[in-house]
Amino acid sequence: RMDQALLLVRNELPAPGLNLAARSGSCHQCLYQFLAFVPPSNESLRVPGTASVMVDTQHPLTLLLNSSVGDRDLCKIQYHFGEFGNYSLVVKTLSTSTQTVSCDLIINEGPINSYLPILFAFLVYMGILAILIAGRLLMKIDPVRNWVYKKLNPRATDRMINSELGSPNTTDSINCDPAPQPWSAGSRQRLRSLDTFRGISLVIMVFVNYGGGKYWFFKHESWNGKLHFPCALFSRFVFIMGTSIALALGSMLRWGSSKWKVLRKILWRSFVLILLGIIVVNPNYCLGPLSWDNLRIPGVLQRLGFTYLVVAALELLFTRADSGTWEGRFSALQDILPYWPQWIFILMLETIWLCLTFLLPVPDCPRGYLGPGGIGDFGKYPNCTGGAAGYIDRLLLGEKHMYQHPSSGVIYQSTMPYDPEGILGTINSIVLAFLGLQAGKITLFYKDQPKQIMSRFIIWGIVMGIISAILTKCSKEEGFIPINKNLWSISYVTTMSCFAFILLLLIYYLVDVKKWWSGAPFLYPGMNSILVYIGHQVFANYFPFKWKMQDSQSHAEHLTQNLTATTLWVVISYILYRRRIFWKI
């Protein structure tokens, strides 16, 4: 099967036989898991005992062979098997006098290169990009452009060529709400870098949710440590949502909306997001018709909705219609000091998270436990997945109303339900959105000063990176608070905000400052993010986003299907953009 190899164990030792166990290299402090019993050789017939097992190829494995009687370890081998490879492990005695045992690993049939489809897909997309760039350059040649004008509708073509390719005007939005005005009250221009940032995260998220070609590095990390692509996507959404809050609220107030009217809009949008998450985008549909018995209460949209409610309401209390220069002693901190009550509130929230995480007693679990449970920590705490975070969700929500298949179940074989969008982690999502809010304030307070904006993005990125280094001790497992997406640990928040500030800086420089890039094609889904996110979930199992494969064990077929589905949503968002259809809540 995909991500597996065949291992044939040949035992040339006499009785009593061998036990073969394995441990994944990505499983921290895990117990060895029994794979097979290898019978002893038949000395009279000189026939070795054999056993065949399937081994995982996603991560390096440590194989352990010991005697079935006495539990004496004979050999230990560390090896990273290749997909669809065929291997033999020969166990024999080198010296009968010293009872020295050798374990030799032999490659019978080499593995396939499962990464070639990624290279091929990359070349295809680069070819398409090259064609588009060449076409754009040709359109700058007068004879070519005039010929195109004659073939196409001249008026429509003029609008297409001369448009800014920016965000919709206030009259273009379906909900007829004023568009955010990041620069001035009279300006109709919008920061395209924000939509591009959001669109990049959304496109990758759609690809990953559709399967990511079934490659292991497009899946969520089992617990602590490495930040795969999926681990950063949701956090970028939360961050850029906070940035948009700062721009949108200031814009609405400058357009004359009262704070009570804005608060009603905040409450309505939060309610709709939470409702959509519970009713429309709910993974527990796979358990059968949705009912209260197995309704998953937390979720991505639910967390976005609640986070938006808290951060937007907090900002509404202190925002001003006129975001002019702050006349204070420390003018360099004009985007921070006037909002000191907000910072106190956020610090109080983080203190609550720290106290609950490290001081709350959890039955049958050590205080402050942050592990995955299951076979992790040498199997001492199998039912302690997530520590206080998991306990609070099980206590307040109930096990049936949580996510039933957490990523820790694959490697760590945990059996307890655990929800990565649970209650306790929402506190830190509010903190992350607040840091994104800070990015929005920077763009407001230093409007028309791109050097000031970029320098502050760099400073914030460095500060967040230093905090992450201190919290984690630059280690995957040994830090004070490891980076953990499932827990939404504070080190995860600071690390993701560090990356978000730097990425936003780069996109802002390319798109809004130098204008070397229009933001396409990521700009289009970024401007219709709610529609694309909900649509890709609702229509995930319908053609043309999914079809029956000839070989379900092929990365190439899965990658083709997932990339096709993702590209279709980009095309759909572009068509909606051209027709000026924008679904906003």
The predicted model gives 508-537 an average pLDDT of 92
Which residues have C-beta within 8 Å of that of residue 141, sequence separation ≥ 6? none
Checking if the pLDDT of 180 tops 70, the result is no
The predicted model gives 445-453 an average pLDDT of 89
Of the candidate ranges 155-169, 172-186, 370-384, the one whose mean pLDDT is the lowest: 172-186
Place 177 in a pLDDT band, splitting at 50, 70 and 90.
Answer: very low
Which of 28, 59, 220, 228 is catalytic? The answer is: 220
**3-state SS class at 319:** coil
pLDDT of res. 494: 96
Measure the CA–CA gap between 397 and 31, rounded to whole angstroms.
Answer: 31
DSSP letters of 368-434?
T--S--TTGGGGT-TT-TTTHHHHHHHHHT-GGGS-SS-THHHHS---S---TT-HHHHHHHHHHHH
pLDDT of res. 139: 83
> Which of 251, 250, 210, 258 has its CA nearest to residue 230?
210
pLDDT of res. 150: 75
Q: Which CATH class is domain 4-109?
A: mainly beta
pLDDT of res. 184: 36
> Phi and psi for 128 in degrees, rounded to 5?
-65, -40
Question: What are the structure tokens assigned to 348, written together?
Answer: 């109080």
Checking if the pLDDT of 293 tops 90, the result is no
Checking if the pLDDT of 189 tops 90, the result is no
pLDDT of res. 381: 93
Checking if the pLDDT of 567 tops 50, the result is yes
> Phi and psi for 47 in degrees, rounded to 5?
-115, 120
pLDDT of res. 181: 37
pLDDT of res. 298: 92
CA distance readout (Å), 563 to 31, 117, 300, 486, 558: 38, 11, 22, 26, 8
CA distance readout (Å), 584 to 174, 185, 233, 357: 7, 21, 21, 36
The predicted model gives 473-495 an average pLDDT of 92
Question: What are the structure tokens assigned to 523, written together?
Answer: 């700009």
Measure the CA–CA gap between 394 and 357, rounded to whole angstroms.
Answer: 15
Residue position matching structure tokens 């209460």? 297
Instruction: Choose between 152 and 363: higher pLDDT.
Output: 363
pLDDT of res. 370: 93
Per-residue pLDDT reduced to its tens digit, 124-160: 999 999 998 888 888 888 887 787 777 766 455 444 4
Asked about 405 being catalytic, the answer comes back as no
The predicted model gives 200-227 an average pLDDT of 87
Mean pLDDT of the chain: 86
Place 72 in a pLDDT band, splitting at 50, 70 and 90.
Answer: confident
Question: What are the structure tokens assigned to 457, written together?
Answer: 């993005």
Instruction: Choose between 403 and 429: higher pLDDT.
Output: 429
Long-range CB pairs of 535-538, under 8 A, 24+ apart, other chains included: 535/569, 535/572, 536/206, 536/209, 536/210, 536/565, 536/569, 537/209, 537/280, 537/281, 538/280, 538/281
Checking if the pLDDT of 163 tops 50, the result is no
Checking if the pLDDT of 475 tops 60, the result is yes
Place 488 in a pLDDT band, splitting at 50, 70 and 90.
Answer: very high
Per-residue pLDDT reduced to its tens digit, 365-401: 999 999 999 999 999 999 999 999 999 999 999 998 8
The predicted model gives 236-248 an average pLDDT of 92
Q: Report the DSSP pairing between strands 73-79 and 49-56.
A: unpaired
pLDDT of res. 325: 54
Checking if the pLDDT of 404 tops 80, the result is yes
Which sequence spans correspond to the domains of the chain? 4-109, 115-144, 192-321+335-579
Instruction: Choose between 288 and 253: higher pLDDT.
Output: 253
- Of the chain, the percentage scoring pLDDT greater than 90 comes to 55
Q: What is the DSSP letter of 509?
A: I
The predicted model gives 428-433 an average pLDDT of 96
Instruction: Check: CB of residue 74 under 8 Å from CB of residue 67.
Output: yes
Instruction: Check: CB of residue 209 under 8 Å from CB of residue 561.
Output: no
pLDDT of res. 140: 82
Instruction: Choose between 72 and 264: higher pLDDT.
Output: 264
The predicted model gives 23-27 an average pLDDT of 90
pLDDT of res. 183: 36
Checking if the pLDDT of 207 tops 50, the result is yes
> Which of 449, 446, 497, 437 has its CA nearest to residue 246?
437
Per-residue pLDDT reduced to its tens digit, 299-348: 999 999 999 999 999 999 887 655 555 555 666 677 788 888 999 999 99
The predicted model gives 272-294 an average pLDDT of 75
Question: What are the structure tokens assigned to 427, written together?
Answer: 């506190």
Instruction: Check: CB of residue 507 under 8 Å from CB of residue 534.
Output: no
pLDDT of res. 336: 82
pLDDT of res. 93: 81
Checking if the pLDDT of 287 tops 60, the result is no
